[in-house]
């Protein structure tokens, strides 16, 4: 973007501090790329930087081993999964996801491992973990022949 979407004047590259929402007792900050209008001072933060920041926050939370409902809810939303979709992928009842997110039941380490894999895949622009979970949710007829190339 070379011109301000608000006033049409030139913009300059800059950095701006961005903050995560409050996730339980945690809030994270980072510097992100942005552009700033030299006339009206409108600042627009680079979208991919914000997306990467959100994934890195989710990764840090999962890797820390924090198993609160706020963390599980944040990570699920960053992964763009609805609660019922997550329950289907993990083969648990939707009520189980609700209990995790509302701190009624502590999630186990396996959930954190799966969420961590989903985050790592997104950070690497892959989908292997999600593809495996989806395949396990709807098994296919197996072709018994293997081709070695």
List pLDDT tens digits, range 12-58.
999 999 999 999 999 999 999 999 998 999 999 999 999 999 999 99
Q: Is the model's pTM score more than 0.75?
A: yes
Is the pLDDT reported for residue 1 higher than 70?
Answer: no
Residue 105 is given by DSSP the state S
Tokens describing residue 147:
């081709």
All domains of the chain, ordered by start, with CATH? 47-136 (1.10.260)
Q: Binning pLDDT at 50, 70 and 90, where does residue 139 land?
A: confident
CA atoms within 13 A on the CB side of 87: 13
Cα–Cα distance between 92 and 2 in angstroms, integer?
49
């Amino acid at each position: 973007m070379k011109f301000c979407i608000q006033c049409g004047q030139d913009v300059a590259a800059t950095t701006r501090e961005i903050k995560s929402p409050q996730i339980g007792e945690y809030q994270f900050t980072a510097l992100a790329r942005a552009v700033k209008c030299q006339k009206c001072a409108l600042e627009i933060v680079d979208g991919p930087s914000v997306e990467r920041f959100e994934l890195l926050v989710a990764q840090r939370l999962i890797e820390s081993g924090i198993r609160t409902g706020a963390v599980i809810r944040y990570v699920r939303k960053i992964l763009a999964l609805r609660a019922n979709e997550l329950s289907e992928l993990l083969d648990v009842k939707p009520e189980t996801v609700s209990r995790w997110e509302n701190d009624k039941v502590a999630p186990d380490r396996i959930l954190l491992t799966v969420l961590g894999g989903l985050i790592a895949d997104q950070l690497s622009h892959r989908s292997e973990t999600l593809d495996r979970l989806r395949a396990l949710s709807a098994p296919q007829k197996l072709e018994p022949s293997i081709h070695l190339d």
